[in-house]
Amino acid sequence: MEKGLNQFFTDYVKKESLFASKKALQSNYIPDMLEHRDEEINQIAQVLAPVLRGDRPSNLFIYGKTGTGKTVSIKHVTQNLVQVAKNQEVALNVCYVNCKLKKITDTEYRLIAHLSRELGKEIPATGLPTDEVYKIFLAALEEAKTNMILVLDEIDHLVQKAGDELLYNLVRHNAELENSQIAVVGISNDLVFTDHIDPRVKSSLSEEELLFAPYNALQIQDILRKRTSQGFGKGKIEPGVVEKCAAFAAREHGDARRAIDLLRVAGELAERNNEPKVCVSHLDVAEAKIEKDRVVESVTKQPKQVQAVLHSIFHTADSERKIIFTGEVYSEYSELCAKIGLRPLTQRRVSDVIGELDMLGIINARVISKGRYGRTREITIPLAEQMVEHLTGLLKDALFFS
DNA sequence: CGAGATTCATGTGAAGTATACCTTTAGGCTTAA
DNA sequence: AAGCCTAAAGGTATACTTCACATGAATCTCGTA
């Protein structure tokens, strides 16, 4: 056994990797050159440039679907900006926040607390008045005498949870600063997001706007070629793989990030199977694996109550039936709670939990009216049967044995 | 037969509650003069 | 008397509950053709 393991590791090191630089294929990688986004990058740069002269840049609002390069573009620009600012000795602080991260930046308090921590202040997770946290934050900023560019990614999530007052406060407090200024860059996947917010907030937040259109198949192909030439070793990819991947991505969603993920995972799979090249068949397997990993991860990370609700949903939908309703889920859930000794949540809360699960994409829940028979959510499970079984197993472990 | 009223099951908003945590403050104890 | 520590008081954010009202199409009702 020992020897076998030893052999494995030795072989592993000796073996030539398919990857030249895996970094270039990871989703947080920011390339030096972005394909097909020159125009957008230019515009962002123009809006933000005044900060180098010590002026406050206009607030900027960026729309576009996922995987259209919004995040990479802004990061690309701000990285450069920070670099130049450093050389020119201009005080500049760029703060990138992904508002989607639960428990970290999904309320006003947590956002401001997070920003304060970025500036080196200790803020407790709870207990302080939000006003107080604002004061600490603004004081820290004032003290630093720096201009801040605040990038709020997935801002639609934040506003949905915390309300648009938050943005208003941010802009309002900005006016009280003497030595520092904040410019807000909002990024949203939701194209109609600004229709739902207070017009005052809207006008001040989107002094400048920018729309990212989805990439088409050819553009995705270019991007993938660029990345693969960096990320993979030469000749490690069968001809046609990149094309297929691009075509697939363009047809399905126009999401470049997912296309890159797909290639990376395909490469990992090929490598694990000791195959010399990445070929088309790996793409399908990779697609399935990515989806599986995504779902498994988000399910296992959920709190117990949410898992219990999900388990109830799976259990209810078990027998042939595809469509189920809130009431059924709730009674199943109540039983489950009794069985495992969990204090049951109210139906009100479970209703919200079902909504959250829908947001995560683990289930589809649509509010429908059944006429005389009331109104409810119609829940369907978009996952493969195998997947559901796998998850049910995981949930059982999590719920019954702990 | 069809327009309008009724109905059901639960969606949904607002307000209230429990919990966990924070700062402030008052009291008690120790220490040094 | 001054200094320091502790515990209670008073306050907040968050997750959840309670209360009460909103929803919207299938079904029922009843007037009319």
In this prediction, residue A47 carries a pLDDT of: 95
A341 touches strand C (CB under 7 A): no
A305 touches strand C (CB under 7 A): yes
In this prediction, residue A62 carries a pLDDT of: 93
| CA–C1' gap, A327 and B1, in angstroms | 36
| CA–C1' gap, A362 and C21, in angstroms | 31
A325 touches strand B (CB under 7 A): yes
A126 touches strand C (CB under 7 A): yes
| CA–C1' gap, A222 and C16, in angstroms | 50
Q: Nucleotides on strand B with an atom closer than 7 A to protein CB?
A: 6-14, 20-23
> How many CB atoms neighbour CB A219 within 10 A?
19
A103 touches strand C (CB under 7 A): yes
Is the separation of the CB atoms in A187 and A66 below 8 Å? no
In this prediction, residue A299 carries a pLDDT of: 93
In this prediction, residue A379 carries a pLDDT of: 95
| CA–C1' gap, A25 and B18, in angstroms | 47
A343 touches strand B (CB under 7 A): no
A109 touches strand C (CB under 7 A): yes
| CA–C1' gap, A338 and C17, in angstroms | 19
- pLDDT values of chain A reduced to their tens digit, one per residue, 402 residues: 567 888 888 887 877 777 877 888 888 888 888 888 999 999 999 999 999 998 889 999 998 988 898 999 999 999 999 999 999 988 899 999 998 887 788 889 999 999 998 888 888 888 888 888 998 999 888 888 888 999 999 888 888 888 878 888 888 888 888 888 899 999 988 887 777 777 888 888 888 999 999 888 889 889 888 888 888 877 777 788 888 888 888 887 778 888 899 889 998 988 888 888 888 888 889 988 998 999 999 999 899 999 999 999 999 987 666 789 999 999 999 999 999 999 999 999 999 999 999 999 999 999 999 999 999 999 999 998 899 999 999 999 999 886
Nearby residues of A51 by Cβ (< 8 Å), 6 or more positions away: A57, A81, A85, A90, A92, A147, A149, A183
| CA–C1' gap, A348 and B16, in angstroms | 15
Domains and CATH numbers, chain A: 2-26+216-295 (1.10.8.60), 38-212 (3.40.50.300), 302-400 (1.10.10.10)
| CA–C1' gap, A373 and B6, in angstroms | 12
pLDDT digits (tens, 9 = 90+) for A83-136: 999 999 888 999 999 988 877 888 899 999 999 988 888 888 888 888 889 989
In this prediction, residue A321 carries a pLDDT of: 66
Alpha helices of A236-303 — where are they, by DSSP H? 241-252, 256-272, 280-301
Nucleotide nearest residue A123, measured CA to C1': B22
Is the separation of the CB atoms in A215 and A73 below 8 Å? no
In this prediction, residue A347 carries a pLDDT of: 96
Kindly write down the DSSP assignment for every residue of A221-248, as one continuous string. Answer: HHHHHHHHHHHBPTT-B-TTHHHHHHHH
A209 closest CA partner among A193, A229, A228, A225 = A193
| CA–C1' gap, A122 and B33, in angstroms | 39
Q: Is A377 helix (H, G, I), strand (E, B) or coil?
A: strand
How many H-runs (helices) and E-runs (strands) does chain A carry? 16, 8
